[in-house]
Each structure stands twice: as structure tokens, then as C-alpha cells.
Structure 1
Amino acid sequence: MTQDETAKIVEALLFAANTPLSLSRLAQLAGKEPLAIIQAIEKLNQDYETTGRTFRIHQVSSGYQLYTLPDYGQWVRSLFQHTHRTRLSKPSLEVLAIIAYEQPITKPEIEKLRGVDSSGPILTLLERKLIQVAGRAKRPGGPFLYRTTKEFLRYFGINDLSDLPRKEDLEDFLIRRDQSTTDEGPLKLVGTMESQVDKTAEGDQ
């Protein structure tokens, strides 16, 4: 199998997938070594740039997915002009920012930092699969520990936690990412569109 053929297979797989595909999964599906997949992705992105295509293969949350370039976001967004992304409420974003930097962290610790009950935001974040239970704290009562998930990385368009901004800038970063994928990063061309539904921000505390 030539490199061109491998690249075409990788492109077809990414086009058909509705979630990011990991390097190992792409290698398994294509029947090639991981290095060959990386080379194929690099070749595809070079070809896309050379031919002026409006999308690229982007690595996010330890996987790869096709994304449109930010310059063309306004036209893609118009395709969904009657729908809106499910935006997180400010309390949910506040709790998410705390968890992202303090993880693993318990609910009492979150509430100590916020000064208010955080049951609603935590439940919302769990339902959205942006956080997960990471065991119990070794203390009386054994409260649950919470940490972010791969979906958190995918949703906010980052590859790993090291891509997060400084702690003091994190909440604003999450708000901007949540409000518009085209202002701060690439807009998805192919992938899950759960966020493109007709809902308003949830009314949690």
C-alpha cells in the first residue's frame, strides 16, 4: 500500500467518524503502523494547505478529527443559524475551571472555594461528561473526587491539560470557547454535533 493510498484511507475514516479517532485506532483500522498514520496525516494537511482547502486534520483529546478553518466559521455557523450550542452556565464554567486546575477535588473543597452549594453545576458537568468521578477522598465520609475527561478536552478544542491557560485566565478562556468555537479555535466540520442543539444555558446555581 502506497503512502497516497494510506492517506486516502485515513481521510475516509476521519470523514466518516463522528468522534475523534485515536492514533492506535486509525492504525488498527487502516492496517498500518502508527508512524505511517502520522505521516499520512501530515501529508493530508500539507495537501490541504497547498490546494487551499478550508479544513485540516486537528489533534484533540488524544485523537484526530476534521475541522474547518476559523476563517470560514461564519458560513458554517450560518448552516446552523436556527440552532444554538448548548452553552454552560457561568456557575458550571466556574466549577469546571476549579476542577480543571485543582483536580482531583471533592465537592466540599469546590464549595469552600466558591462559597455556595455546587450540586447543580457538578450534576450538569457529569451529565455533559465534562467531568467524572475519580474515586473517593481518603478522609471521613469519603467524598467523591472529580476530574476532567477526554470529552472536556474535545469540547474545548485542546489536546491535553498542558494547553490550558494560566489559572487566573482559565474561566474566561472556557467562557470564550463555550460561546463560539470559531472565535478561539477551529469549527468542527465532521464530528459530534451534540453541542449544536436548540437549548439555552441550564439554570443551575
Structure 2
Amino acid sequence: MDLDPVRIIEAVLFSSPQPVKISDMEIQTQLPSATVRKAVKDLTSEYEKKETSLRVAKVGSGYALLLKDEYAPFGRAFAPKEIPDNILRTATWIAYHQPVMQSDLAHALGSKTYTDVRELHDLGLISMKKKGHSYVLSTTKKFPEYFGINGTSPTAIKKYLEERAKGN
């Protein structure tokens, strides 16, 4: 039985909680590189044409099956929360103001942020570089991948956060 490569890639993206790199799709599916790339392109086009709440998006160095922006609020109500709100607030502050000193962050948001920073660092979402008695905090490449932000630069992340704050 020959399976359709587009449906195989769709199954991969549907099943993965994180964006998947082309190279990882090749390894896991045993499909040739050209076949995987064409399947991703065809699937992206298919979802753009369909009247569906889903889209295929390039997220960082991988691809993900995401909700279209206008449907995301409905899905969020049912999605399990992986990161508590207080830690998300800290992550947003770091992402928006990066690079930011941990001492400045604690002054702005309170001493609880030290615990939040440790958790965000453990998740691989932020980097910490020692500077004096504090740390300089910045987002990692995993940060935009995790949150579905298209672009890894601090400017792209800040723009994304500003758009979300406006409700776009």
C-alpha cells in the first residue's frame, strides 16, 4: 500500500507539539528530501485554499500545523496550558525588552521572577549570560518556535508581541 506523502507530512505536523524540521521529517518518514519538501509545499497550498481553521506555518527552522489567527481564541480555551500565566508574563517582558538585566526585571516585576527565569531557562526559552552580579536575559531560537513566531530576531519577536497586544 503506497501512502500519500502529503498525508504522511500532515500526520507528522498534526502529531507534533513542536515545529518539525525538514531533516527530522526525512529521517522519521524515510521519505527523500525532495519528496518531503514538495509535500510540505503542497500541504501548505492545500490549507491556504481550504476553508479550514488550520494552516501550515514555517516556525523558526521547522514547520507546524497551527490554528489560523482568527480561530486561535476558540482553540486556546481548550488547549492545555503548558506555561502558567505568571511565567508567560515574565517571558513576554524578557522578549519585549531584550536584552534585559535580570535585576531590572526583578525590580519591574518582583522577586518571584527569579523562579520564573529559572523555569524559562530550563525550558530552553531564554539564555542567561553573567554580567556583574546579575544576568543578561534574551530569548533563544527555541522561543519563537515554541510560540509560533515567524522570525527569530528580537525585532521580529517585539513586532509579534505588539501585534498580539493590539489584538491582531
Question: Do they fold alike, i.e. is TM over 0.5?
Answer: yes
How many residues are paired up? 163
- Give the share of equivalent positions with the same residue, in percent: 22
CA distance in 2, matches of 1:56, 1:25: 20
TM superposition shift of 1:173: 5.0
> Does residue 124 in structure 1 map to residue 124 in structure 2?
no
Of structures 1 and 2, the one with the larger relative CO (CA 8 A, separation 6+) is 1
CA distance in 2, matches of 1:59, 1:127: 26
1:13-52 matches, within 5 Å, as 13-52=12-51
1:161 maps to: 152
- Which of 137, 143, 165 aligns to 1:152? It is 143
Contact 1:91 1:121 in 2 (8 A): no
- DSSP 3-state at the match of 1:70: coil
TM superposition shift of 1:122: 4.6
Q: Which moved more, 1:90-99 or 1:45-54?
A: 90-99
RMSD: 4.0
CA distance in 2, matches of 1:115, 1:152: 20
TM superposition shift of 1:7: 1.4
1:106-145 matches, within 5 Å, as 106-107=101-102, 111=104, 116=107, 120-128=112-120, 129=123, 130-134=125-129, 136-137=130-131, 144-145=135-136
Runs of 4+ in 1 over 6 A off after TM superposition: 82-85
- TM-score normalised to structure 2 length: 0.69
Distance 1:18 1:50, change over 3 A: same
1:4-15 matches, within 5 Å, as 5-15=4-14
2:75 maps to: 76
CA distance in 2, matches of 1:124, 1:175: 22
- DSSP 3-state at the match of 1:164: helix
1:65 maps to: 64
Contact 1:126 1:132 in 2 (8 A): no
- Which of 84, 87, 101 aligns to 1:86? It is 84
Contact 1:14 1:65 in 2 (8 A): yes
CA distance in 2, matches of 1:73, 1:63: 20
CA distance in 2, matches of 1:91, 1:13: 31
- DSSP 3-state at the match of 2:107: coil
- DSSP 3-state at the match of 2:72: helix
